[in-house]
Structure formats: C-alpha cells, structure tokens
Structure 1
Amino acid sequence: MKNTALITGATSGLGLSYAKYFASAGYDLILTGRRREIIQKNAETLQKRYHIKAEVLIVELSDPNGISQLLSFIRDRDIHVLVNNAGFGLKPFFADTPQEDIEKMLYLQILCVTQLTHCVLKGMLQRHDGIIINISSDGAFAVMPHNVLYSSTKLYILNFTEGLHTELVGTGVHVQAVCPGFIDSHFHENAGMHMDKNKKGLFGFRQPDDIVADAMKDFRKGKVVSIPDAGAKLIRFMGRFMPRKAFYKMSASFSAGVIKKKANTSASHK
C-alpha cells in the first residue's frame, strides 16, 4: 500500500505544485479545494501521469462544518504527509474588513491548520514517521498595511510549526514552515489585488513549482523554516533588525502611497 499525502488548497498554485511533487514520489493523494471541475481534472492528470490514486474532497475549510467534514473523511486513514496550504488574502484595511471575512480567515489559517495537524499527528507518532508542511508567508516577518490579519495568521503558523519541531525532535516526524514571497498564482486576483506579475528582480513573482522545489531542498537539509526567495529573506532581515520606529515610518509611508494610489484609481473610473 502506498503512502498518502493530504494537501489542502490543491486546485492551483503551491497546492497543485506540492501535489505534483508528492505524486512524482509515488504518494497517493487526498486533495481539497472548492473548484470541482478544475481540481478533479488535475487529479485525473496526476493519476495518469504518475500511476497513483488521487481522491478529491470539495470542502470549504474556512467554515467549522467544512473542517469537521475533512476531519471525518480522514479519521481512519493513515496520512503520511500533510501540507496545510489552503489560504486567501484580504484587500481592505482591518477596520473595513467584514466580520464574516475575519472569521473565515481565522478558521482557515489558524483553526483548520491546528486541528488537521492534531488529527494526523497521533498516527504519525505511532508510526514514528511523518511530514507536516505548513505554508506561512514573508508577511509573517513584517506586517504591512492591508495585510494585518493575514500576516498575523501566518505568524501563528510560523510559531506553531517551530514549536512543534521542538516537541517532535527524535520522533521521526518532521515539520517545516514555508515562507514564500510573491507567487505566480490566482491568490492576488482572488483577493481583488491587481499586481504586475511580469515584475522581475528581488520582489518579482516566482513560479509555484520552483518555490516547492527550493522548499523541499531545504526540507532535505533539515531546515525547519524555508524562505525560498531572496526578497522574503530581506524582509525577514528587516523585520528582525530594523529599528521599530524606522519600520513604523516605512509602513506609514507605504500606507500613504497605497491610499493615494487607490484614490487616483477610483477617480479615473468615475
């Protein structure tokens, strides 16, 4: 019987890239997502290409009922790899964010990650073998305007993963937090953000397959925190060593620029 990898948010982007990575390594897959036609087609492609079994569960993990549905689906299953990837961004300032969106993000990026990890971890400990990969973000290192809630949940994921590592040393279960920068996926469009994905350089967009390849290279080296982008490494450095007053000033300047740009864009559409 083949080992099984459970990957949330596997319709596209990093989730799909992790699905391809573990399918190529011979793992059967359990994939979650919301766009049935797309994720089902991806599953069929992976099955044919890698001769593995790929199951699809259409579920809304930003809702407690959806989390319960997934937990019930995997309760009696041996999960050898868990990739907590499902996530979304929010465009408004925190004060303008609807309560419904706040709850969805907290459920998805804190409660879901925590409960899924807790569910699969017991079996992994019994087998003395397992991999848990939690997708954080460069935003975990330095929160910016329009990014307050998202960055805070990603910081939780980072701390949660590092804490787990300290508890799991010597158990055969290995964890990793991946903190990428800009990814060429549907993430920004889904959040209502319009980004220039042709931008190159330090903060340019990278392909999901390349990020996963770099992150898994770090995993094999035993790196608990993978920062696969030069820009993300710079943000971590600034978040750690930049004087806080200077950081706040930089954030305020950035915020003012965003507001001005938003106002100009709105005026141009009148």
Structure 2
Amino acid sequence: MKKIDKAKFGPWALITGASAGIGEEFARQLAAGGFDLVLVARRKELLEHLGQELKQKHHINYQVIEADLSTTAGVEKVIEGTDGLNVGLLISNAGTGKPGKFLKFGLDHLMATIQLNALSHIALTHHFGRKMAAAGKGGILLTGAMGAIDGLPYMANESGTKAMVQALAKALNTELKATGIHITVLVTSPTETPVLPLLGFTKDNLPMKPLSVQQCVSEALEGLRKNRPSVLPGLKYRMMNTVVPASFSRAMMAKVFKKNNNID
C-alpha cells in the first residue's frame, strides 16, 4: 500500500478529533509520512502530548488548536488559527454519539450534535476546499458511520448527521474532480476506539470482531489517495453491508442499542 503523497496533499494536514481513537491514528500515520500536523480537539493536554511525541519521532512540525466544534466559535477558531499555514489535507473527523430515545433528548443537545457532526464538516470543507481549489491540489477526508445512511434507531439524530456528511462527500467527489481535490468519506466500521464502549459495545457483544484503528485509518488514506468517493474498511463489514437488507439492519441495531444501553 502506497503512502499518501505529501507533495500533493501537504505540507500541513489538519486533523479534528485528534486527541484519541481514529483521529489520533490519522496523526500517527500522517506524521510517519512526513506531514506537519495541526491537531484539533477540546483536550489540549492530550494534543500537546501527541504532538511532542510525533515531533521527536518523525521530526515534524505541529500546532495545537483547542476548540469545541459543537460551537460556531470553535470552527472560527480553527479557521483563524490556520490562517498562515499551507493546509493541503483536511481530516474532518470530529463527532460524537449518545444512544437514547430521540424525544427524550433536549433540543439544545440535538442542535449541538448537528453542529459538531455535520455543520462543522461543511464549514471546514468549504473554507479549506476554496484554498485547495485555488492551489489546484489537496485532499479532504470526512468521517461517516456504517449504517447511518439507512438510519440507526436510538441514534436517529447522529445517523442523520453522518448520512448528510456521507452524501456531501460523495457529491463533492465528482463536483471537485476538475479542481484537483481528492475527497473521500470514511464510512467507519466498528473499530477498536474509546467510542465503542460509550455506545454500549464490547468485543463480546459485537456480531463481528472490530477492526484495529490502524487498519481503519490505512484503508481510509488509501481510498483518499485513489480518490474513491467512500471507503468502508474491512472486507467482512463490506460484505455484511452489501447483503444485509436495511430493514433487517435497523431492527437488529434497535435491539442491540436498547439492550446494551438499558433503554426502556
């Protein structure tokens, strides 16, 4: 598998949600490829620790931006904080999820989730996309979620936001080809990250073994390099996503979320 080209997609890569899980692994793999990094998340201490580690190991430059992308102010902070940098790669990975009944969540919670999971991706894609189009090169990778496009009961708001992001990336993959920009959506399969237990999942109650974060990220970057509209990592998960009817998948996920999260 070829490494993603710093000359085409660099020299700086911006990664949101970089403090843990998939975002952290994007930082590790891109640093190994020589990319300078802008690390964005709410937990500044974790970002600094990661940045220092990767700087010492790979002799890269890094910048940390502490920002809450569930607010428009957080998005503006990222845009302003990168004003003087040549960002050729955007990994828009920030997101959250909390299983529960849609009607029991407060509207403020739902709106903040939409801002983080969807609107922040649109704003960053628009801002950096314009800069990349002017340069005639660059890459944008957005993160979605397996099953979102068909709807996930008890995560209705979250699946709606991820479905929007997936549709956005697929549309722009065609629309932006003439500009020289690659754009891909990572349709995230169940992956070994800190998010899994927050959704009520363990290695024992998943129907198939979750992917390693290394495999998830390496397949995503390969898809971006080849300018594929979407990437769903893991052959077994791709097969399952193809053959299992959406109605069956929704019914199954409803039972799983209810049971694993004690939803009455």
TM bin (shorter chain): 0.7 to 0.9
Structure 2 residue aligned with 1:153: 161
Is structure 2 residue 210 aligned with structure 1 residue 205? Answer: yes
**SS in structure 2 of the partner of residue 170 of structure 1:** helix
**SS in structure 1 of the partner of residue 65 of structure 2:** strand
Structure 2's unaligned 5+ residue stretches are: 1-6
| Deviations, residues 209-237 of structure 1 (Å, cap 9, x unaligned) | 11111222233333221111235424532
| Alignment: residue pair count | 256
Structure 2 residue aligned with 1:167: 175
Q: How does 1:172-251 map to 2 (within 5 A)?
A: 172-189=180-197, 191=198, 193-197=199-203, 203-234=208-239, 236-238=241-243, 242=245, 247=247, 251=250
Instruction: Give the TM-score taking structure 2 as reference length.
Output: 0.87
Taking the aligned partners of 1:188 and 1:250, their CA distance within structure 2 comes to: 18
Query: Which piece of structure 1 moves more, 66-75 or 107-116?
Result: 66-75
Change (3 A) 1:34 1:103: same
Taking the aligned partners of 1:120 and 1:261, their CA distance within structure 2 comes to: 39
Percent identity of paired positions between Structure 1 and Structure 2: 23
Contact 1:5–1:82 (Cα < 8 Å) also in 2? yes
Q: Which of 61, 67, 71 is 1:63 aligned to?
A: 71
Taking the aligned partners of 1:25 and 1:257, their CA distance within structure 2 comes to: 39
Change (3 A) 1:29 1:259: closer
Pairwise CA distance, 1:252? 4.3
Structure having the higher Rg? 1
Contact 1:11–1:32 (Cα < 8 Å) also in 2? yes
RMSD: 2.5
Structure 1 residue aligned with 2:102: 94
Taking the aligned partners of 2:256 and 2:89, their CA distance within structure 1 comes to: 42
Pairwise CA distance, 1:253? 6.1
Structure 2 residue aligned with 1:44: 52
**4+ long deviations beyond 6 Å:** none
Structure 1 residue aligned with 2:125: 117
Pairwise CA distance, 1:203? 2.7
Taking the aligned partners of 1:262 and 1:21, their CA distance within structure 2 comes to: 33
Structure 1 residue aligned with 2:86: 78
Contact 2:99–2:257 (Cα < 8 Å) also in 1? no
Taking the aligned partners of 2:254 and 2:148, their CA distance within structure 1 comes to: 18
Structure 1's unaligned 5+ residue stretches are: none
Contact 2:201–2:260 (Cα < 8 Å) also in 1? no
Change (3 A) 1:169 1:259: closer
Contact 2:182–2:225 (Cα < 8 Å) also in 1? no
Taking the aligned partners of 2:119 and 2:25, their CA distance within structure 1 comes to: 24
Q: Which of 140, 143, 153 is 1:135 aligned to?
A: 143
Structure 1 residue aligned with 2:11: 3
Pairwise CA distance, 1:198? 5.1
| Deviations, residues 237-261 of structure 1 (Å, cap 9, x unaligned) | 257xx3x7xx1x6634653565466
Matched letter for residue 194 of structure 1 = G
Structure 1 residue aligned with 2:3: none
Matched letter for residue 83 of structure 2 = R
Change (3 A) 1:51 1:259: closer
| Deviations, residues 70-111 of structure 1 (Å, cap 9, x unaligned) | 122123432100000011111111111222221111101111
Taking the aligned partners of 1:22 and 1:73, their CA distance within structure 2 comes to: 20
